[in-house]
Amino acid sequence: MSEPTITYVRVQPASYLAIASCVLSFFGAGIFGVICGHMALKRIRNAPPPGLSGKGAALIGLVVGYVEIAVLAFFVLKFA
């Protein structure tokens, strides 16, 4: 009987700024989510190998943050 082989999978570390962008945007701090999202995308793009994961979280944070800012601007302009 042969010995089982053990394979190790190298996992990319997650970008903490991407996670912060997603969390901040969902909790109503849209401008801070947008700032963290842009910083995270830049760090993910410029990271040396093996790179960073979290591009999806950064994009979600950006989209939700920009939507929050647009809705806030709409209500300010409409009711001011």
- Confidence class for position 51, pLDDT limits 50, 70, 90: confident
- Confidence class for position 7, pLDDT limits 50, 70, 90: confident
The per-residue pLDDT for 19 is: 94
| Separation of alpha carbons 60 and 21, rounded Å | 8
Residue type at 37 in one-letter notation? G
The residue-averaged pLDDT of 70-79 equals 94
pTM across the whole model: 0.80
The conformation of residue 28, written as its DSSP 8-state character, comes to T
Residue 54 has pLDDT above 80, yes or no: yes
Q: CB under 8 Å to 50, separation ≥6 — which residues?
A: 10, 12
Count of residues making up the chain? 80
Note if the bond before 50 is cis, omega within 30 degrees: yes
Q: CB under 8 Å to 42, separation ≥6 — which residues?
A: none
The per-residue pLDDT for 47 is: 87
The residue-averaged pLDDT of 9-21 equals 89
